Chains A and B, each alone.
Chain A
Amino acid sequence: MIQPYKKRKIDQALARQEAPPPEKPVTIDIADGPAIPRPSDPGLYSAWKFVMIATPLIMIYLTTYDQIGGFIVRHLPEFFWRGNFLEDWALTERNAYRAFFFFMPDGFQVTFQVTLFSIPVAVFLGVITGLCRISRRRPINLAASIYVEVVRGIPLLVQLFYLYYALGRLITIPPLGSAVLAISFCYGAYMGEVVRSGIEAIDRGQREAALSLGFTPFQAMFYVILPQAVRTILPPVGNECIALLKDSTLVSVLAIADIMRRAREFATISYDYFEAYTMVALVYLFLTLLLSKLVSKMEGRMGSYERR
């Protein structure tokens, strides 16, 4: 009679030698761009907290020091003498930081619009490009690769000028629209590379399992591979979005009044270059830090099914 699994010990020793290496979690590290504050990196995490608290405090101080501090100290004797200092309050709007702060909001709005409209377009282009880059169809793959190579080989500033004026010749769209298109076009290529590497990081077995169940290649991509790739793709895409926000300052060289452009306009009138650019730097620092925190939050949420 047959003894089931009699030779199990040897079989298993044999089988074990051929066991695949244990799965490693995949992360895509991109060297440049802002760092995402993860609790697993305590140095960066506390640095993030420090700068995140310091930046608004410095801004508040710069825009108000003459009111709350210097102003009161300077005018305290006067206050006792006259019983109020309302008149001086109005006359002493000599704080250039504060003046710029009130000058800036429409620039803030433009930056916000450029970034907010560019991100979805760039992500959309990125997903399409990423998918085309892994396509086995030669022409599709080639077209996407050329797009990526061309975009990566030309400075963003040059591309902006080029697309802005090229688009201006072909179609009449508002400056904001061409700026958004130009930025999305560039960032679509960068995001495409992120999407491609994210998809390639998914084990081939996932696709094979799906195909063996009768999924079409399209279904395998959209039901199985992309939902998993999102997890690996999200942090670097978040990074790209932050980089996009920073690079949106480049549109200031076109006729678009973003924060940076408003600072230059302000400084040309008032000659307060230092004050204006200090405020711009602080505003961007604050925005990028806020966004990077947002990305790390999303990242934490996405990873849940692996760790639960």
Chain B
Amino acid sequence: MGGQPVIVMEGVYKYFGDFAALTNISLNIEKGQKLVLVGPSGSGKSTLLRAINRLETIDHGRILVDGQDIYDPGINLNQLRTRMGMVFQGFNLFRHKTALENVTMAPRKVLKMSAKEADRRGLDLLHKVGIADKAANYPAQLSGGQQQRVAIARALVMNPDIMLFDEPTSALDPEVTHEVLDVMVALAREGMTMAVVTHEMGFARQVADRVIFMDQGQIIEEAPPALFFENPRSDRTRTFLRQILPF
């Protein structure tokens, strides 16, 4: 592939005390690529995503975003983080702000955009994720699926180069999971670069360019979805897939 890498990880290690949460992680995510991360609980998927925007600091190795080392002392970390949108399992909407304010807050406070301009962009994005009619609602007045869609709009508002999703549908009721997945599929079709931790294997099959299987902080297997699901190379992947797939 000839794409230019948005994310480069080289030999990344992360320890919590003596515990190795990430061991020798190397991977590239090229522009427009969709990467799905799977693996058992505690395997380090969240830690990997969070390391990319430095919500976790790594102990070894390098991480480049748009060619810039995120540990370069000369970089502006806050500015760099605007290049990456992050969507959390627990939504993490600002609970004291309405849906629209949640979306417009970053452009207004970080980019110093005018209220009018920010509102226009915010409403556009809320429209895009299908909840423009709930713009004035507070998070507590929204369902989980609606909250997560606001969170996606909020992450998109800074025009990120890559979107990081950490189990975006795991906290949702089954009936509303598709609301969020549909938005993500649409986003993927638009060509957004995405790294997604998810247990939604249907989504992985439909959208992913590559699936990465992690276990105990290591990348065990990396393959296109067809190959990954039909013909996994490693035993551990096979065991894992047997646990989560019915046949």
Mutual binders A and B: yes
A→B interface (CB under 8 Å): 2-12, 14-16, 18-20, 203, 205-206, 208-216, 219, 223-224, 227-228, 231, 305-308
Contacts A214-B78, A228-B95 given; does A15 touch B110 at CB 8 Å:
no
Tell which of A5, A6, A206, A215 touches B110, judged by Cβ atoms closer than 8 Å: A215
- Chain B CB count within 10 A is highest, among A15, A208, A215, A308, for A15
Chain B residue nearest to A6 in the complex (CB): B202
Among residues of A, the one whose C-beta sits closest to the C-beta of B86 is A212
**B53 near A215 (CB under 8 angstroms)?**
no
Tell me if B202 and A215 are in contact (CB < 8 A).
Answer: no
User: Which of B85, B110, B155, B200 sits near A11, CB closer than 8 Å?
Assistant: B200
Pairwise interchain contact B96-A228, C-beta atoms closer than 8 A: yes
Residues of A close to B95: CB separation below 8 A: 206, 228, 305-306
Most buried by A among B41, B92, B154, B155: B92
User: Closest CB-CB distance, B104 to chain A, in whole Å?
Assistant: 11
A12–B158 CA distance with the chains assembled, in angstroms:
31
Contact between A7 and B202, CB atoms less than 8 A apart? yes
B105 to chain A, nearest CB (A): 7
Which 10 residue pairs spanning A and B have beta carbons closest together?
A5-B202, A214-B82, A205-B92, A209-B92, A213-B106, A212-B86, A15-B170, A12-B174, A214-B110, A19-B171
Further pairs besides A5-B177, A214-B106, A219-B109: 13, Cβ < 8 Å? A4-B185, A4-B202, A11-B200, A19-B170, A20-B90, A20-B171, A209-B92, A209-B93, A214-B78, A228-B96, A231-B96, A307-B140, A308-B141
Check B200 against A8 for contact (C-beta < 8 Å). Answer: yes
> Which B residues are in CB contact (< 8 Å) with A20?
89-90, 171
Identify which of B82, B174, B178, B202 contacts A213 (C-beta below 8 A): B82
A139–B109 alpha-carbon span in the complex (Å): 30
Choice from A11, A16, A231 contacting B201 with Cβ under 8 Å: A11
Which of B55, B141, B167, B206 is close to A2, meaning CB atoms less than 8 Å apart? B206
Which residues of the other chain, B, contact A308 by a CB distance below 8 angstroms?
138, 140-141
Q: Are A18 and B170 in contact (CB under 8 A)?
A: yes
Most buried by A among B110, B171, B178, B199: B199
A205: B residues at CB distance < 8 A: 88, 90, 92
What distance in Å separates the Cβ of B214 from its nearest Cβ neighbour in chain A? 15
Residues of A within 8 A of B78 (CB): 211, 214-216
Convert B111-151 into 0s and 1s, putting 1 for each residue whose CB lies closer than 8 angstroms to a CB of A. Answer: 00000000000000000000000000010110000000001
The answer to whether A8 and B174 have CB atoms under 8 Å apart is yes
Bound Cα distance A307, B139 (Å): 10
Report B-chain residues with C-beta under 8 Å of the C-beta of A3. Answer: 202
Q: Which residue from A4, A209, A224 sits with its C-beta under 8 Å from B206? A: A4
- Taking CB atoms, residues of chain B closer than 8 Å to A210 are 94
* In the complex with contacts A19-B170, A308-B140, A206-B178 CB distance below 8 A: no
Is residue B218 contacting chain A, with contact meaning CB distance below 8 A? no
Enumerate 11 A-B pairs (CB-CB under 8 Å) in ascending A order: A5-B202, A14-B199, A15-B199, A209-B94, A209-B151, A211-B55, A211-B81, A213-B154, A219-B109, A305-B95, A306-B140
Assess the A206–B94 pair: CB atoms within 8 A: yes
Contacts of A227 in B (CB 8 A): 96
A12 lies within 8 A of B177 (CB): yes
Does B205 interact with chain A (Cβ within 8 Å)? yes
Q: In the complex, which residues of chain B have a beta carbon less than 8 angstroms from the beta carbon of A224?
A: 94
Q: How far is the CA of A133 from the CA of B2 in the complex (A)?
A: 51
Q: In the complex the two chains form, what is the Cα distance from A307 to B138 in whole Å? A: 9
| B203 and A5 contacting across the interface, CB-CB below 8 Å | yes
**Nearest CB in chain B to that of A223: its residue:** B109
Q: Given contacts A20-B90, A228-B95, A306-B95, is CB(A213)–CB(B53) below 8 Å? A: no
Bound together, the chains give a CA A11 to CA B172 distance in angstroms of 12
A209 contacts B88, C-beta separation under 8 Å: yes
With both chains docked as a complex, state the minimum distance between the C-beta of B77 and any C-beta of chain A, in angstroms: 9
Q: For residues 52 through 72 of chain B, which have their beta carbon under 8 Å from a beta carbon of chain A?
A: 53, 55
- Say yes or no: A208-B140 contact (C-beta < 8 A), given A3-B202, A7-B246, A219-B109: no
Q: Name the A residues within 8 Å of B171 (CB-CB).
A: 19-20
What distance in Å separates the Cβ of A224 from its nearest Cβ neighbour in chain B? 6
- What is the bound-complex CA distance between A15 and B203, given in angstroms? 14
- B84 proximity list for chain A (CB < 8 A): 212
B183 at the interface (CB under 8 A from A): no
Specify which chain A residues have a CB less than 8 angstroms from the CB of B110 in the assembled complex.
213-215, 219
* CA distance in complex: A223, B94 (Å): 10
Interface status of B244 (Cβ within 8 A of chain A): yes
